[in-house]
Structure 1
Amino acid sequence: MQIRTMTETDIPAGMRLKDIAGWNQTEAEWRIFLNAGRNGCFVAEVDGIVRGTAATIVYGGRFAWVGMVLVDPEYRGHGIGTTLLNRCIEYLDSIRVPCIKLDATPLGKPIYEKLGFTSEYELERWTLKRRKDDLPDRRQMGPDESMPAPLLEHVLQADREAFGADRSAILRAVDRARPHFTNSVWNMGRMEGYAFGRRGSFADHLGPWIAKDEGTGQRILDRFLSQSSRGVVLTDCSKANPFIRRIVQARGFEYSRPLARMFRGRNEYPGRPELVCAILGPEFG
């Protein structure tokens, strides 16, 4: 097994592993990792074939994120995933990142715990499946207009508080790809909530989705559903939020799986999880 830095020529191999796992990411999302810092993205090769991946993003020096940890099913149990994770940790420690975070599945959680990760709070994936007759007609919608730049700046500033660090470069990329999914709610000149969305390989994904109260959360979700023309919609919700379950269940979402937000190191910038209806995604935080 050889561990090396990932390049753009490895994206098809990453997509193959992603497809095997049934994940929703696209090639554009692999490029976000590489553009953010390819020195922190790795692949594991066996006999010259990529059999595993792991990628990292550093958020403003406050903490880093580990995502896209994938191992070919035929090669699981041979230490590839653990070796990749250790390589990510070694790299992030070498550049003195004080905290490393990730979102773990129940299968991965014991592995992360052995590497020094601690649970912070719980997440839940919720899935909505809609019939063709229930989908909005995109032909009747207006053009995909971008949020005005000054308004987007206010949203990005609010996100630094909610998330705990600056991830504006990623959110700008998400907004450029699907501007009609970017939304904010204001009341008397004050922002009450906002959201971004992505078009994945098989589903539209809502997140980050931030709301100060239940009514704002409902408005944001309803607008997203009116803008999405996909039959499947995903969102990864924070269990720390007091009202999110009621909102998604009322609109027909079904519970899919648990996730655990975990950290290693000094978690000095936890953000505001009580405001988080849904995260950007397990791969990005």
Structure 2
Amino acid sequence: MVLTDAEQWHRTVSDWRRLYDLEPKGMFKAVLDGREVGVAAAMTYDNVCWIHSVIVRKDLQRSGIGSVLVKRCLEFARSRGVSTVKLDSVGGCEPFYERLGFVREFDSFRFFGKGVASSNHAELIDRSDLEEVCSFDKRVTGLDRQRVLASIYRDAPALAHLIRVQGKLRGYLLGRWGDDRIQIGPCVVYPDRSSYAKQLLSAVIKDNNGWDVRACVPGLNPKAKTLAEKIGLKMVGTATRMYQGTELRETPSVYVMISPEKG
């Protein structure tokens, strides 16, 4: 928490607990003279590994600690037999990751604000809907993310919504409570219609009790960026999605990514 607070990531204890429970053997720390000076973590699902939470104390950055941590995560990925490793680079760290063999894939955008809700026909996801939602997500994204989605839903069912059209599931959205904000993600729709995504986002904004919302929007879906702007969110930052190994193309049906640490 000390390291993430120093970076103003607004990560909560619940966030860390969720990440640990999902991949306890994928978390690593750097210790120097008895002090914890860095952290990095990796999470696998299906045939992909996500490296995340790479932080080194500011006074020890550019000392090689970050490289050691990322390489340890890559060793973990190899031990799991995945063919693709991905991450989100922030703060101009792309050259650092490129030296470690990563390739730039696409930009992503961080949006923030209270937003403006419109009418919607979204409904809360019931626990009995979860299997259908996970199956829908796998069909659209090509990845089995069931255990990740289930963990997010378990912690915040009141933020989980879906939309049906003539009885057929056409999209869903999950969210998480932060320290002073709601972290939206993922939001996946199919067919790729921004009107479905707008209704899902409006459902959360309408019931957010005045909280700000934050969303990580993939640059490979221009309609997602346009929609975020239309509903009154403001772009507050950018990141670069990068990969190593086999290129794994992502679908434009994603309007909001899960998060930088989960893809």
TM over 0.5: yes
The equivalent of 1:169 in structure 2 is: 147
CA distance in 2, matches of 1:230, 1:59: 34
Equivalent residue letter for 2:179: S
Q: Corresponding residue for 1:37?
A: 23
- Rounded Cα–Cα distance in structure 2 between residues aligned with 1:229 and 1:24: 19
1:236-275 correspondence runs (5 A): 236-267=216-247, 269-272=248-251, 274-275=252-253
How far is the alpha carbon of 1:129 from its aligned partner?
Answer: 4.6
Mapped contact 2:125–2:162 kept (Cα < 8 A): no
**Which amino acid is the alignment partner of residue 70 of structure 2?**
L
State the identity %. 28
- Asked if the contact 2:42–2:76 (Cα under 8 Å) also holds between the matched residues in 1, the reply is no
The offset of 1:170, in angstroms, is 1.8
Deviation at 1:124, TM superposition (A): 0.5
The residue type paired with residue 215 of structure 2 is T
Among 174, 186, 201, the residue aligned to 1:221: 201
Q: Distance in 2 between matches of 1:172 and 1:72?
A: 33
**Which of residues 44, 55, 62 in structure 2 aligns to 1:58?**
44
Aligned partner letter, 1:178: A
Could you list the per-position Cα deviations for residues 131-173 of structure 1 after superposition, in whole angstroms to 9, with x for gaps in the alignment? xxx99xxxxxxxxx97333422111112123443222112112
Q: What code does the residue aligned with 1:31 have?
A: R
Q: Letter of the 1:239 partner, please give it.
A: G
Tell me the secondary structure at the aligned position of residue 42 of structure 2.
strand
2:184 aligned residue: 206
Unaligned runs of 5+ in 2: 118-122
May I ask how many residue pairs the two structures share in their alignment? 256
Q: What is the identity, as a one-letter code, of the residue corresponding to 2:20?
A: L
The worse-fitting range, judged by mean Cα deviation, of 160-169 and 38-47 is: 160-169
- What's the counterpart of residue 114 of structure 1? 99
- For the residue of structure 1 that corresponds to 2:222, the secondary structure is coil
SS in 2 for 1:220: helix
Tell me the alpha carbon deviations over residues 58-89 of structure 1, each in whole angstroms, 9 at most, x when there is no partner. Answer: 102x1111111111112112111111001111
Alignment partner of 2:70 out of 67, 85, 99: 85
Q: Distance in 2 between matches of 1:193 and 1:91?
A: 33
Structure 1 segments (4+ residues) deviating >4 Å: none
State the 1:230 CA deviation: 4.7
- Could you say which residue in structure 2 is the equivalent of 1:182? 160
- Please tell me whether the aligned partners of residues 124 and 162 of structure 2 are also in contact (alpha carbons under 8 angstroms): no
Deviations 1:85-110 (A, max 9, x none): 01111222233221111111152211
RMSD: 2.0
Instruction: State the TM-score, normalized to the length of structure 1.
Output: 0.84
Structure 2 length as normaliser, TM-score?
0.90
CA displacement at 1:232 relative to structure 2: 2.1
What amino acid is the match of 1:161?
Answer: R
Residue 120 of structure 2 aligns with which residue?
none
SS in 1 for 2:23: helix
User: What SS does structure 2 have at the residue aligned with 1:282?
Assistant: coil
Q: Shift of residue 201 of structure 1?
A: 2.0
My pick for the range that moved more, 114-123 or 27-36, is 27-36
Residue matched to 2:14? 28
- Please tell me whether the aligned partners of residues 113 and 213 of structure 2 are also in contact (alpha carbons under 8 angstroms): yes
* 2:215 paired residue number: 235
* TM-superposition CA deviations, 1:1-26 (whole Å, max 9, x none): xxxxxxxxxxxxxx111110000222
* Structure 1, unpaired ranges of 5+: 1-14, 136-144
Moved more, 25-34 or 80-89: 25-34
